[in-house]
Chain A
Amino acid sequence: DTGVSQDPRHKITKRGQNVTFRCDPISEHNRLYWYRQTLGQGPEFLTYFQNEAQLEKSRLLSDRFSAERPKGSFSTLEIQRTEQGDSAMYLCASSLSGSRETQYFGPGTRLLVL
Chain B
Amino acid sequence: DAKTTQPPSMDCAEGRAANLPCNHSTISGNEYVYWYRQIHSQGPQYIIHGLKNNETNEMASLIITEDRKSSTLILPHATLRDTAVYYCIEGAGSYQLTFGKGTKLSVIP
Contact = CB atoms under 8 A, between A and B. Distances in A.
Contacts of B101: 40-42
B43 A106 contact: yes
Contacts of B99: 42-44
Interface in B73-109: 85, 87, 93-102
Interface in A7-51: 31, 33, 40-45, 48
B93 A100 contact: yes
Contacts of A102: 34, 46, 49, 93
Interface residues on B, range: 20 to 34
A33 B96 contact: yes
B64 to A, nearest CB: 15
B46 A56 contact: no
B2 interface: yes
B7 to A, nearest CB: 15
A105 B44 contact: yes
A66 interface: no
Majority secondary structure of chain A interface residues (helix, strand, loop or mixed): loop
A42 B102 CA distance: 7
A84 interface: no
Interface in B2-28: 2
A42 B49 contact: no
Given A100-B49, A102-B49, A45 B96 contact: yes
A104 interface: yes
Contacts of B42: 107-108
B43 A56 contact: no
B34 to A, nearest CB: 8
A97 B95 CA distance: 10
10 contacts: A4-B43, A40-B101, A43-B99, A56-B95, A102-B93, A103-B97, A105-B43, A105-B44, A105-B45, A108-B43
Interface of A: 4, 31, 33, 40-45, 48, 56, 58, 91, 93, 95, 97, 99-108, 110
